[in-house]
C-alpha cells in the first residue's frame, strides 16, 4: 500500500477532499443525471417559457404549492 501526502493548504484551498474507491466513483458517475443541450427551436421555446415564468413571478402572478393537489 502506498502512502499519499496531501498538504493541508491544498485541502483548505479546495474546501476539502473526498477519497473513494474506483468502483464507487464509477457507480456515482453512472448514477449522475446526464447533461442535455438544446439547440434551435427547442432552445428558443425553453428560453421563452423561462422568460414568461420570470415575468409572472416578478408581477406576483405565481403561488407556492406544497403538492400538485394544490393546483385544483
Q: What are phi and psi of 53, to 5 degrees?
A: -65, -40
- Best-predicted range by mean pLDDT (1-5, 6-10, 53-57, 65-69): 53-57
> What three-state secondary structure class fits 43?
helix
Q: What is the mean pLDDT of residues 11-18?
A: 87
The predicted pLDDT at position 2 comes to 82
Q: What percent of the chain has pLDDT over 70?
A: 100
Instruction: Give the distance from CA 47 to its chain's centroid.
Output: 18
Q: Which segments of the chain does DSSP mark as H helices, in order?
A: 8-13, 22-31, 41-58
**CA–CA dist 58, 50 (Å, integer):** 12
Q: What percent of the chain has pLDDT over 90?
A: 49
Q: Which residues lie closer than 8 Å to 65 by C-beta, 6 or more apart? A: 71
**Grid cell 485541502 — which residue?**
11
Instruction: Please determine, for residue 54, whether its predicted confidence score (pLDDT) is greater than 80.
Output: yes
Name the band, by pLDDT with cuts 50, 70 and 90, for residue 17: confident
Amino acid at each position: 500500500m502506498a502512502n499519499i501526502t496531501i498538504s493541508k493548504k491544498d485541502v483548505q484551498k479546495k474546501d476539502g477532499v473526498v477519497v473513494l474507491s474506483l468502483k464507487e466513483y464509477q457507480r456515482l458517475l453512472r448514477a449522475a443525471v446526464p447533461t442535455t443541450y438544446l439547440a434551435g427551436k427547442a432552445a428558443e421555446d425553453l428560453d421563452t417559457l423561462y422568460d414568461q415564468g420570470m415575468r409572472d413571478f416578478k408581477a406576483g402572478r405565481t403561488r407556492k404549492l406544497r403538492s400538485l393537489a394544490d393546483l385544483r
